[in-house]
Chain A
Amino acid sequence: MADEALFQFLHSEIIQYVNSAEPGESENGRCVSKLENMGFRVGQGLIERFTKDTPRFKDELDVMKFICKDFWTSVFKKQIDNLRTNHQGIYVLQDNKFHLLTQLSAGKQYLEHAPKFLAFTCGLVRGALSNLGVKSIVTAEVSVMPACKFQVMIQKM
């Protein structure tokens, strides 16, 4: 029943910690991958708990729909606003008001810090997909705060 404020504060503390543990511009990639790895583990755990009573998914698209609707709603209290795909394994999930960015200024001021706030969630999605049997690479981009796009590239096994 943990209140969402608690998660938000914890999330920003984690970002703070990871960045202070790996100072320097060159280490930036490592920060992001550390956050991503943490998210991955959490995503795996969540999806395991979450799908234990759901019927088997029909196909990849069905899995993606599940992530956009149910998974997103339970984690971020809203659905993904737009899901697009090229039907060749690339999906773009667009959230017009991403929960973890709403605390930052909507202007351009903190735009450069935005990637840090997305890495954990990228991992979250990748971990969730991974435990549903879909291997993927997830990246995120922000052009205007607090909207952001997650791109999921499915790796064919």
Chain B
Amino acid sequence: MSRQSNRATDSKKMNSELFTLTYGALVTQLCKDYENDEEVNKQLDKIKFTSHVVLHRFFQEGCAAGKITNKMGYNIGVRLIEDFLARSSVGRCHDFRETADVIAKVAFKMYLGITPSVTNWSPAGDEFSLILESNPLVDFVELPDNHSNLVYSSLLCGVLRGALEMVQMAVDVRFAQDTLRGDSVTEIRMKFIKRIEENLPAGDE
């Protein structure tokens, strides 16, 4: 059939769209699941410091879905690091700056096809920002008004945190800016917390 021509080039793009759309479907499902979630309400009962409605919104959209995607990202990161180390010929990083370079230039390139820029180093060199010109995860996304608190791409934070933990680095990762919420760029802020000591036997005191 004539329809088979020039499909090969599309294949890679399609796969990225598959990922983007699947992630979208997941977030949509999470938002649905947590709309009337009892867990969320239970937590609300415990914490009473602002108006119920505001807090409810915060938990519902900002936290619940974001937290779960973050946790899922962590689980993915823990496994993805092995794939990454096996496929790239990257060795051990000697400082945080080198780590930042590897993340931006090798890892992001490999998995998402983008190269974020590394900026805003703290004077101590333990904190930096990844600036994403485009975020493939949000290709087809628009946040509706009632989900303005949702940290849509928090999966990425989890992935970074999980992957780095497997190479003995405890790192705090969060979104500082997000184009979905009206900022001009997407900024992921990463802060080195500590080196995880290797020689601690698990579960031993």
Chain A contacts to B: CB under 8 angstroms: 1-7, 9-11, 13-14, 16-18, 21, 34, 37-39, 41-42, 45-46, 49-50, 54-55, 62, 65-66, 69-70, 73-75, 77, 120
Identify B19's interface contact among A6, A18, A39, A50, CB under 8 A: A6
CB distance from B136 to the nearest CB of A (A): 6
Which residues in B have some Cβ–Cβ distance to A below 8 Å?
1-4, 7, 10-26, 28-30, 33, 68, 72, 75-76, 79-80, 83, 110-114, 136, 140, 155
Instruction: List residues of chain A with CB within 8 A of the CB of B17.
Output: 45-46, 49
- Residues of chain A within 8 A (CB-CB) of B30 are 17
List the A side residues contacting B112 at CB < 8 Å. Answer: 1-3, 6
With A54-B3, A70-B3: A2-B20 Cβ-Cβ less than 8 Å: yes
Chain B residues lying within 8 Å of A14, measured Cβ to Cβ, are 22, 26, 72
Shortest distance from the beta carbon of B112 to any chain A beta carbon, whole Å: 6
- CB of A13 within 8 A of CB of B75, answer yes
User: When the two chains form the complex, which single residue of A4, A9, A65, A70 contacts B15, counting CB atoms closer than 8 Å?
Assistant: A4
Secondary structure class of chain B's binding surface, majority of residues: helix
With A6-B19, A45-B21, A70-B4 known as contacts, the answer to whether A38 contacts B14 (CB < 8 A) is: no
Q: Do A13 and B3 touch across chains, with their CB atoms under 8 A apart?
A: no
Beta-carbon contact of B25 and A38 below 8 Å: yes
Please tell me if the beta carbons of B10 and A50 are within 8 angstroms of each other in the complex. yes
Residues of B within 8 A of A13 (CB): 72, 75-76
B156 to chain A, nearest CB (A): 11
Report the bound CA distance from A128 to B155 in whole Å.
26
Partner of B29, one of A38, A46, A69: A38
20 contacts between A and B (CB under 8 A): A1-B12, A2-B19, A2-B20, A2-B111, A2-B136, A6-B19, A6-B111, A9-B79, A10-B72, A17-B72, A21-B33, A38-B22, A42-B22, A46-B14, A65-B1, A70-B3, A73-B11, A74-B10, A75-B15, A77-B11
Chain B contacts for A75, CB-based, 8 A: 14-15, 18
| Contact of A41 with B28 in the complex, beta carbons under 8 Å | yes
Are B13 and A69 in touch, CB under 8 angstroms?
no
Q: Tell whether, in the assembled complex, residue A9 and residue B21 are in contact, meaning their CB atoms are under 8 Å apart.
A: no
